[in-house]
Chains A and B, each alone.
Chain A
Amino acid sequence: MPADLLDHKLLFVSGKGGVGKSTVAAALALLGSQRGKRTLACEIDAKGNLADFFEAGPTNYTPREVQPNLFAMSMDTEASLQEYLKLQMRLPAIARIGPLARAFEFVATAAPGVREILTVGKPVWEVREGNFDLVVVDAAATGHIVGQLAAPQAINDLVHVGLIRQQTSWLIDVLGNKETTGLVVVTTPEEMPVNETIELAARVEDETDVALSAIVVNRVLPELFGRQEEEVFEELRQPAAVAALDDATNGPVEPVMEGARLAVTMRRTRTGHIERLRTSVDPKIPLLYVPYLFMRAHGFRTTRQVADALSAELSY
């Protein structure tokens, strides 16, 4: 496994819904491009909002430069099938239209792995062709990522001969190469996301050839007080102190104190989940911490802040 996460050529980013998976994927891609790598950010879940993270308008199947050195695209299985049939199968255009495409929908719906292989195949192909130095995939959420990454193997088990069989072997080669390919799982320090991350780490190990390269712990609350400071804080929360502070500030001090108390307990609960995560996954897998961003802004500004935080984590 490369020493630096960004020395991989292909990074899949997964995580439970709502933990900031797309933000982290966008930030990793931005960081790659800032380090001079020709980078592709590829959105696989057809939500179509990866471009929001770069404030760059909608993306489609054709990679488009959204920042210097940084290209973005979104997956379209239909377009991927067309490209695949043309480039890999060398089928004439006439065979690629009409009934075949529609019939494919059925095979893809019923035979799992077919759709996934097209989805995963595209970024892997971009890496194999050397079109980019780094491809960051905003991949499926924790529930589906294993199916996505294991698809080439699943197809291999189902299809014993034929052209597809030859195609799956180079996919498996690239995905299984730990120097080239890595999986990044994003979580928040909360109970359910941490549980899912621990389960996912085990499943990735057991059911796929892809290496888990890092876990990003997003929205880590700052530690408000050291131990001595917390003693002072507890004294300040006593009724006499609150009354004195009310006099000194002309205002209701209690809500402000209550807010700080909530921040302290939230931080404490979350620290427990981080500790549980650390002891439950392989100690060799780094945890990268991204602080909670107390800001109104979303979009590119958030992406840059997360990229800065990740950069600081990766530099030591």
Chain B
Amino acid sequence: MAPKRRKDDERANSLEHLLAAKEIAIVCGSGGVGKTTTAAAAGAMAAASLGGKVLVVTVDPARRLANALGLEGFGNKEKPVPADAFKQAGVQPRGELWAAMLDTKESWDALIHLHAPDEETARRILENPLYQNVSGRFVQSHDYIAMERLYEIHTSGDYDLIIVDTPPTRNAIDFLEAPERMADFFSSRFLRWLTAPARSRVINFASRPFYQIADRILGTQFLQDISEFFMLFQTMYDGFVERARAVDRLLHDRRSTFIVVSTLENVPVREAEFFIDALDDRNFHLGALVLNKVLPTYFLDDGATRVAQRLCADAPEVAHAVESLVANPQMTPQVLREVGESYLNFQVVAKREQEQRAELAKTPEVVATVPYFDSDIYDMGGLLDLGFQIWGRHD
């Protein structure tokens, strides 16, 4: 049982410890739960208090986030966040914070140039209409390229910690499987079938019925485009498959960890549960769970509940107690009733959240809770406020 005990000793008890021990943190969760902001806040905290060179890679082109980081905007190439942004928030960072936004098209093009055997092949791929579709619109291509870009940045050795904000996928685990799927895709027998006519003009017996039907449905031109596209892509087969496997190894490496972000609403919770299971099934390291926009615990106070009920039932009587303290006493009962009702309304939601939280919090090493912020985050100060909430020890 020795390995087990060692693992227990290694358990992080805060996001701070977790990120101090890892080189890659992949932030995931369903859309709209504050994933990008959480990734940026964790990055800002890491740069401020852990030091070193920290990079946040986001897929979300939110201009407000760029502004919060003190940047005009940022693109595929990493940009340093100006120290002024921290200074304005009254913080002297120990390290540097960098940011990059994933540009799928640009990253794909770079990948083609990398893997294509020669410039001519690269040019023909880039001009193929199917390629333009695949790189621009193909949903899964975002997932793959995010992981690919992570690999590239990590192997450059430029950063001590890379925090990746993952694409909002329909099925949150898609991107975990993207490298493997990409390798499968290129090693398939059907791909060779499809490329057969363009290669040899001799269609073998087995694939002939397919071509006859496909030709009837899709037309010859489209079929040729497909064939050419796949044929060209096959020249890059070895490079792609090898790369996809390397990306997969990196995600499984002990230097990589996953941070699941969720709110306590029904749909995100269901997706987070699914995601936590999926990470476990695939032997990925689940480092932390961050729960966003959680209602304050004072909504669960027993004494306050009695007060709220009393305000709803006996507002006129309670109002007497403050008659001399308000300018408009005839309105007091109505206001007190509203206050009581509002509390009880929110309590229903807070109770539901409490149950959801208990369910979710069973597995991960670190569970951080972020209360409902009254307003949206507009600057580094706001990001760091959020960062402090998730950073410290949580028991």
- Please give the residue numbers on chain A whose beta carbons come within 8 Å of chain B beta carbons, in ascending order: 16-19, 45, 89, 91, 95, 99-100, 102-103, 105-107, 109-113, 140-141, 143-144, 147, 154, 157-165, 190-193, 195, 224-225, 228-229, 231-233, 235-236, 238, 240-241, 244-245, 247-260, 262-263, 265-266, 269, 294-296, 298
> What distance in Å separates the Cβ of A156 from its nearest Cβ neighbour in chain B?
11
> What distance in Å separates the Cβ of A43 from its nearest Cβ neighbour in chain B?
13
B388 at the interface (CB under 8 A from A): no
> What distance in Å separates the Cβ of A77 from its nearest Cβ neighbour in chain B?
13
B311 at the interface (CB under 8 A from A): yes
A45 touching B170, Cβ below 8 Å: yes
Output the nearest chain B residue to A106 by Cβ-Cβ distance.
Answer: B190
- B interface SS class: helix
Q: Sample 21 A-B pairs with CB under 8 A, ordered by A number.
A: A17-B31, A18-B268, A19-B32, A45-B170, A107-B214, A147-B139, A157-B129, A164-B217, A165-B219, A190-B32, A191-B64, A195-B62, A232-B335, A235-B325, A236-B325, A247-B321, A251-B304, A251-B310, A257-B339, A260-B343, A265-B375
Output the nearest chain A residue to B308 by Cβ-Cβ distance.
Answer: A256
Rounded to whole angstroms, the CA-CA distance of A183 and B158 in the bound complex is: 46
Q: What sequence of 0s and 1s flags, for each residue 305-323 of chain B, a beta carbon within 8 Å of any chain A beta carbon?
A: 0111011000001101110
- 8 A Cβ contacts from B287-312 to A: 296, 298-299, 301, 303-304, 306-308, 310-311
Q: Which residues of B contact A144 (CB under 8 A)?
A: 139, 170
Output the nearest chain B residue to A257 by Cβ-Cβ distance.
Answer: B339
A263 touching B310, Cβ below 8 Å: no
A17 touching B267, Cβ below 8 Å: yes
Output the nearest chain A residue to B317 by Cβ-Cβ distance.
Answer: A248
Which of B221, B225, B311 is close to A161, meaning CB atoms less than 8 Å apart? B221
Output the nearest chain A residue to B307 by Cβ-Cβ distance.
Answer: A251
Q: Which residues of A contact B214 (CB under 8 A)?
A: 100, 103, 107
B193 at the interface (CB under 8 A from A): yes
B89 at the interface (CB under 8 A from A): no
Q: Which residues of B contact A91 (CB under 8 A)?
A: 213
Which of B30, B170, B215, B343 is close to A259, meaning CB atoms less than 8 Å apart? B343
Assess A294 versus B326: contact at CB under 8 Å? Given A162-B216, A259-B342: no
Q: Which residues of A contact B326 (CB under 8 A)?
A: 232, 235-236, 241
Which of B222, B307, B335 is close to A229, meaning CB atoms less than 8 Å apart? B335
Assess A231 versus B342: contact at CB under 8 Å? Given A162-B222, A249-B311, A251-B310: no
B257 at the interface (CB under 8 A from A): no
Assess A269 versus B374: contact at CB under 8 Å? Given A162-B216, A244-B325, A248-B321: yes
Rounded to whole angstroms, the CA-CA distance of A240 and B138 in the bound complex is: 63
Rounded to whole angstroms, the CA-CA distance of A160 and B222 in the bound complex is: 7
